[in-house]
Amino acid sequence: MENISVKFLKEVEPKNAVLIEGLPGVGNVGKLAAEHMIDELDAEIFAEIYSIYFPPQVLVNDDGIAEMVCNKLYYKKNAGEDDIDLIFLTGDYQGMTPQGQYLLTARVLEIVKEFGVDMVYSLGGYGQGSMIDKPRVLGAATNHNLVEKGKEFGVVFDKEHPSSGIVGASGLLLGLGKRLYDIDGLCLMGETSGYFVDPTASRAVLEILLSLLNIEELSFDALDDKAEEVESITNKFMEMDPSSGVGQEGKSEHLRYIG
Amino acid sequence: MENISVKFLKEVEPKNAVLIEGLPGVGNVGKLAAEHMIDELDAEIFAEIYSIYFPPQVLVNDDGIAEMVCNKLYYKKNAGEDDIDLIFLTGDYQGMTPQGQYLLTARVLEIVKEFGVDMVYSLGGYGQGSMIDKPRVLGAATNHNLVEKGKEFGVVFDKEHPSSGIVGASGLLLGLGKRLYDIDGLCLMGETSGYFVDPTASRAVLEILLSLLNIEELSFDALDDKAEEVESITNKFMEMDPSSGVGQEGKSEHLRYIG
Amino acid sequence: MENISVKFLKEVEPKNAVLIEGLPGVGNVGKLAAEHMIDELDAEIFAEIYSIYFPPQVLVNDDGIAEMVCNKLYYKKNAGEDDIDLIFLTGDYQGMTPQGQYLLTARVLEIVKEFGVDMVYSLGGYGQGSMIDKPRVLGAATNHNLVEKGKEFGVVFDKEHPSSGIVGASGLLLGLGKRLYDIDGLCLMGETSGYFVDPTASRAVLEILLSLLNIEELSFDALDDKAEEVESITNKFMEMDPSSGVGQEGKSEHLRYIG
Amino acid sequence: MENISVKFLKEVEPKNAVLIEGLPGVGNVGKLAAEHMIDELDAEIFAEIYSIYFPPQVLVNDDGIAEMVCNKLYYKKNAGEDDIDLIFLTGDYQGMTPQGQYLLTARVLEIVKEFGVDMVYSLGGYGQGSMIDKPRVLGAATNHNLVEKGKEFGVVFDKEHPSSGIVGASGLLLGLGKRLYDIDGLCLMGETSGYFVDPTASRAVLEILLSLLNIEELSFDALDDKAEEVESITNKFMEMDPSSGVGQEGKSEHLRYIG
């Protein structure tokens, strides 16, 4: 096998397409958001990415079927009022090493560059370390026009955050995209505690993204149901042991299975 | 040297062959099982695999002879009632890094694909963290037919297990086999404490594997002797210090020399 | 992308040029010194280096603009009394792995070798673990003439220091330069506590470097301002908790944002 | 630069040559032994090996000269009664990663294979964890003839030792040599505490090696002086704090500077 194997499952011919990335990360905010859009828009998978930079692991589903961990590319034609094409990147894991992160991101950028993509939206969470009531969406972008446009739609470009930059695929898609592939990018990060999967932060990110893309028809019901489910489990833990806080490893581990 | 050097020791021409993998892992269940079959069926070694992904180490046997750590491929022609050919993969170590795991597994799949192999049985242990009286054999497979077939032969496809997937060669053979080499696979995992080498779990795995392969003639005497030996040592430790449980590092270390 | 991508932003034709390296390191002494020279001499950037050996990260500036972490090469024509050309290497990070350190350094040496460079000055800090009042500049060089010349300009070649060698880009530029690229080198290390960014050590290094290069016109005002700023913060911490010493992680972390 | 750069300094044409390896390791036994032979026989350096698998570091000598860390190959023509040619491998470090260990060892084997070498003696220490009065020399070899020959010269092939094999260059030279390069090998390991550099163990190894090679003329004076120096420092530590044993990190660190 090659270090990164891209398996195309069907031919697609995106036009005016943008890339939307939602890989696992803080609170799984980006992954939940991207998967929700994929589900609601009936986007179809067109490529799988297997790589030595992922964990050497299969996941086993409830039927006993083993599935190789991978990243996946989905495609949705003519979405929203502007009939734009969407390409989604999501998956089980990000690259496990810094070098893997670079090479996987560069490979995705090469693929979408071939499709004429010149804009990427990378979605993620911004861990605040404390419970968030009403998550803001923090942003970073590759140029000042995108920063201004983001502000118009409610994105917060806060001098304080993120002070140490953006690590991982969401950051690399912007940085490598801008410098090596001439692709612009806007990163949207929903505020989240960082302790649980956070569908509420995902919804906050999605609301802004959908406005930016002029897509109106999307229902948030599935995401809201998931948010309620997480909240109910969170509350149960709180009642069991209110003194211990919410940051304990055991709890967050458990909650990661949701979503 | 290449990163992975395959040294063929003799020419083989397998037909209708399946691959059986038993590399070191939890309780050494898979390795013991594969080695027992190799011994009992008089399978012959036909290839050695040396690799920079193994530890940089020789093992020294009782005669003072240093042997390079490696993986080995064995071949048995016309085994069992159905006269099927068997290829075995076993060895001293699995790859030491995630990337090595991927590349070594892919290399083995390439080799057996050349031989027309379209089915792999990967054998392993499933660590339960407590002593197991009568080990079940848990499974995962690459398609629903194999799951159904496994169930008929007593394999348990438990929704709870393995919750986090299968890590290492046993998982990758299924995942990469299915996705990149069009090879199906069934993973058989014998329940084991995880503290000791566990010939009893190996026997449980083997009984099901042999039924699946329609091989009847195999004696389990050598494996049972080994099981008794382990049990006697285990008991001795228990008597010496019954309060300390069986999970102590020192004990499991010692017991690893058996097998 | 390649493992190391060098993006040339403009054509330069250095003559009699020397390379001056100031990458992040102990007390950021080298980086501060190189950046100060770049600023004061109005050197212009001519190449950016992106690499899988850097952290997979973008830095976000106060405007919300994401910038890919990278190293940068600057050029200054006809500097100082001798009209020598200067090439500067600075950046956000050094390579994150030993292998990356080697390959990045070798790449820079290949680039400057093309430009006819046969001398490199690598700048850094030498952590003493205690507050330094008047920093000496310790040195190491690739040949005895350079050692002698360094001594004439006040560089200390102390048998005691650095006892364990010089790790990272500053060392590799000398070692690989000498052995593989026929480029000589002198490493200048300003004594520093190692706890804070240290513009005072940078000034000590620069004073000697500028004498060596026969460059007189440089102002140190910006560097001195920075030194005052650091001292004021350091003192504040001392007052807050004089018993705790200056080596606490929290403090040095905070101070790293300066500079 | 290449991942491994071999710089030949002069042409040599070894005949009937054997390779003698003494890289840093337990008690630096092998390195001291090889360097002592190189010194006493006036062997001359003919190649330097630079590699991304070594630490990214220069060593600075007492004159302030920076030297790139490397491995070195030396050559001695017509040594001993049998006029055999000797090639020595020594250096500052072994490869820092398992993969580097493999690739560096394989490269050396390729070089000496070109010279017709078909036998390697790898020298090392065998750490016993307690002070050794009269060190035995433990061995491992690639075939039974070498084991028998070793026994005749006093090498101990103990079933108990080394129970877990031989890790690093000394092991790989035997294992890879035998399997991939058709080169036989004998590993000689002097018993040592493992806490200090141990010239006494080096002498024990050398005495047997020289007998095996039929070389008589060598003086051990320099090695004995070093042994006395180490013993004097060891004793001083013992007096200072007899209760603390000799295994403390600080002590062994200090003593590593000897040798």
**Is B179 close to A66, i.e. CB distance below 8 A?**
no
**Amino acid D242: pLDDT:** 53
**Amino acid D248: pLDDT:** 39
**Amino acid B163: pLDDT:** 61
Best interface-test mutation with D: which of B60, B94, B104, B258 has the largest number of D CBs within 10 A? B60
Residue type at C109 in one-letter notation? L
**Does B48 contact chain D (CB < 8 Å)?**
yes
**Amino acid C159: pLDDT:** 72
Give the range among A97-111, A165-179, C21-35, C241-255 with minimum mean pLDDT.
Answer: C241-255
**Amino acid A107: pLDDT:** 98
The answer to whether B and C touch (≥3 CB pairs < 8 Å) is: no
To the nearest 10 degrees (0 to 180), the angle between helices C29-41 and C199-213 is 60
Query: Which residue spans within chain A are E strands per DSSP?
Result: 4-8, 18-21, 44-51, 57-60, 66-68, 71-79, 84-91, 119-127, 137-141, 166-167, 184-192
In a domain, A228, yes or no: no
Query: Which residue spans within B69-145 are E strands per DSSP?
Result: 71-79, 84-91, 119-127, 137-141
Alpha-carbon span B89 to B47, nearest angstrom: 10
Question: In 3-state terms, what secondary structure has residue C215?
Answer: coil
Length of chain A: 259
Structure tokens at D117: 């070498």
Facing D60 at nearest CB: one of C150, C165, C169: C165
**pLDDT exceeds cutoff 70 at D247:** no
Convert the pLDDT of each residue in C49-99 to its tens digit: 999 999 999 999 999 999 999 999 999 999 999 999 999 999 999 999 999
**Does D175 contact chain B (CB < 8 Å)?**
yes
Chain B partners (3+ C-beta pairs within 8 A): A, D
In a domain, B73, yes or no: yes
Between A243 and A43, residue with greater pLDDT: A43
Alpha-carbon span A193 to A257, nearest angstrom: 17
Cα distances (Å, whole numbers) of residue B247 to B174, B194, B232, B237, C46? 31, 9, 16, 11, 61
Alpha-carbon span C48 to C73, nearest angstrom: 6
Between A216 and D123, residue with greater pLDDT: D123
Which residues form the domain of D61? 4-220
**Amino acid C99: pLDDT:** 98
**pLDDT exceeds cutoff 80 at C161:** no
Alpha helices in chain D (DSSP H): 29-41, 98-114, 144-152, 169-180, 199-213, 221-240, 249-256
Contact D102, D176 (CB under 8 A): yes
Alpha-carbon span A173 to A218, nearest angstrom: 26
Between A147 and D231, residue with greater pLDDT: A147
Q: Which residue in chain D is spatially nearest to B54 when comparing CA positions? A: D98
The answer to whether D and B touch (≥3 CB pairs < 8 Å) is: yes
Q: Which residue in chain B is spatially nearest to A96 when comparing CA positions? A: B98
Find the angle CA(D121)-CA(D125)-CA(D127) to the nearest 5 degrees. 150
Contact C6, C49 (CB under 8 A): yes
Best interface-test mutation with A: which of C4, C5, C58 has the largest number of A CBs within 10 A? C58
Convert the pLDDT of each residue in B41-53 to its tens digit: 999 999 999 999 9
How near does any CA of chain C get to the CA of A51, in Å? 16
Alpha-carbon span C200 to B153, nearest angstrom: 76
What end-to-end distance do the CA atoms of chain B give, in Å?
31
**Amino acid A14: pLDDT:** 96
Residues 5-24 of chain B with CB under 8 A from chain D are: 5, 7
Which is it for strands B84-91 and B18-21: parallel, antiparallel or unpaired? Answer: parallel
The answer to whether B and A touch (≥3 CB pairs < 8 Å) is: yes
**Does C69 contact chain A (CB < 8 Å)?**
yes
Between C234 and A14, residue with greater pLDDT: A14
**Does A167 contact chain C (CB < 8 Å)?**
yes
Chain A partners (3+ C-beta pairs within 8 A): B, C
Chain A residues in contact with B179 (beta carbon < 8 A) = 7, 48, 50, 68, 70
**Is D140 close to B48, i.e. CB distance below 8 A?**
no
To the nearest 10 degrees (0 to 180), the angle between helices C144-152 and C199-213 is 110
Phi-psi region of A91 (alpha: psi -120 to 50; beta: other; left: phi over 0): left
**Is D1 close to C142, i.e. CB distance below 8 A?**
no
Residue type at D147 in one-letter notation? V
Which is it for strands D137-141 and D184-192: parallel, antiparallel or unpaired? Answer: antiparallel
**Amino acid D39: pLDDT:** 97
Question: In 3-state terms, what secondary structure has residue D125?
Answer: strand
Q: What are phi and psi of C232, to 5 degrees?
A: -65, -45
**Does A143 contact chain C (CB < 8 Å)?**
yes
Cα distances (Å, whole numbers) of residue D101 to A181, D93, D171? 37, 10, 10
pLDDT 10s per residue in chain B (259 long)?
A: 999 999 999 999 999 999 999 999 999 999 999 999 999 999 999 999 999 999 999 999 999 999 999 999 999 999 999 999 999 999 999 999 999 999 999 999 999 999 999 999 999 999 988 888 899 999 999 999 999 999 999 999 977 665 669 999 999 999 999 999 999 999 999 999 988 999 999 999 999 999 999 998 899 999 999 999 998 888 887 676 555 444 433 333 334 333 3
**Is D172 close to B55, i.e. CB distance below 8 A?**
no
In a domain, B239, yes or no: no
Alpha-carbon span A144 to A146, nearest angstrom: 5
The answer to whether A and C touch (≥3 CB pairs < 8 Å) is: yes
C153-171: burial string, b at 16+ Cβ within 10 Å, e else: bebebbeebbeebbbbbbb
Long-range contacts made by residues B59-64, C-beta under 8 angstroms, separation at least 24?
B59/B92, B59/D164, B59/D165, B60/D140, B60/D162, B60/D165, B60/D166, B62/D159, B63/D144, B63/D147, B63/D157, B64/D139, B64/D140, B64/D141, B64/D147, B64/D150, B64/D157
**Does C2 contact chain A (CB < 8 Å)?**
no
Contact D17, D44 (CB under 8 A): no
Chain C partners (3+ C-beta pairs within 8 A): A, D
Burial class of C145 by CB neighbour count within 10 A (0 to 12, 13 to 18, 19+): exposed
**Does C66 contact chain A (CB < 8 Å)?**
yes
Structure tokens at B99: 């990337």
What ipTM was estimated for this complex?
A: 0.90
Structure tokens at D147: 């084991």
In a domain, B231, yes or no: no
H or E element at residue C211: helix C199-213
Give the range among B21-25, B194-198, C16-20, D238-242 with minimum mean pLDDT.
Answer: D238-242
Contact D57, C167 (CB under 8 A): yes
**Is C101 close to D56, i.e. CB distance below 8 A?**
yes
Contact C155, C137 (CB under 8 A): yes
Tell which residue, B173, B194, B166, B23, has the closest CA to residue B94: B23
Residue type at C47 in one-letter notation? A
**Does D105 contact chain B (CB < 8 Å)?**
yes
**pLDDT exceeds cutoff 90 at D217:** no
Tell which residue, B152, B147, B48, has the closest CA to residue B91: B48
Adjacent-strand bridge partners of B87:
B19, B75
In a domain, B243, yes or no: no
Facing B62 at nearest CB: one of D159, D175, D187: D159
Contact D154, D212 (CB under 8 A): no
3-state SS track over D65-88: EEEECCEEEEEEEEECCCCEEEEE
Convert the pLDDT of each residue in D157-166 to its tens digit: 977 665 669 9
In a domain, B99, yes or no: yes
Chain D residues in contact with B3 (beta carbon < 8 A) = 99
List all residues 6 or more positions away from A71 whose beta carbon is below 8 Å from its beta carbon: A23, A48, A49, A51, A54, A89, A90, A91, A92, A93, A104, A108
**Is B60 close to D140, i.e. CB distance below 8 A?**
yes
Chain A residues in contact with B150 (beta carbon < 8 A) = 64
Q: Which residue in chain D is spatially nearest to B99 when comparing CA positions? A: D99
Contact C251, C195 (CB under 8 A): yes
Alpha-carbon span C183 to B110, nearest angstrom: 46
Contact D112, D19 (CB under 8 A): yes
As a whole number, the mean pLDDT across chain C is 91
In a domain, D240, yes or no: no
Between B80 and D238, residue with greater pLDDT: B80
In a domain, C257, yes or no: no
C·D CB contacts under 8 A: 92
**Amino acid D252: pLDDT:** 38
Q: Count how many domains chain D has.
A: 1
**Amino acid B123: pLDDT:** 98
List all residues 6 or more positions away from D53 whose beta carbon is below 8 Å from its beta carbon: C98, C99, D3, D4, D95, D96, D97, D99, D100, D101, D103, D104
Structure tokens at D21: 């390896």
Give the CATH number of the domain where residue B29 resides.
3.40.50.10900
Strands, sheet with A184-192, edge to edge from the N-terminal-most edge strand:
A4-8, A44-51, A71-79, A84-91, A18-21, A119-127, A184-192, A137-141
Residues 198-237 of chain C with CB under 8 A from chain D are: none
- Please identify which residue in the block is written with the tokens 């500052």: D92
B13-27: burial string, b at 16+ Cβ within 10 Å, e else: ebeebbbbbbbbbbb
Q: Which residue in chain A is spatially nearest to C68 when comparing CA positions? A: A175
The upper half-sphere exposure of residue C37, i.e. CA atoms within 13 Å in the direction of its Cβ, equals 35
**Is C185 close to D59, i.e. CB distance below 8 A?**
no
Structure tokens at A141: 């972008």
Convert the pLDDT of each residue in A155-197 to its tens digit: 999 776 656 699 999 999 999 999 999 999 999 999 999 889 9
Length of chain D: 259
Structure tokens at B52: 């920079």
**Is C168 close to D65, i.e. CB distance below 8 A?**
no
A110-141: burial string, b at 16+ Cβ within 10 Å, e else: ebbbebebbbbbbbbbbbbeeebeebbbbbbb
Contact C72, C92 (CB under 8 A): no
Facing D147 at nearest CB: one of B5, B65, B257: B65
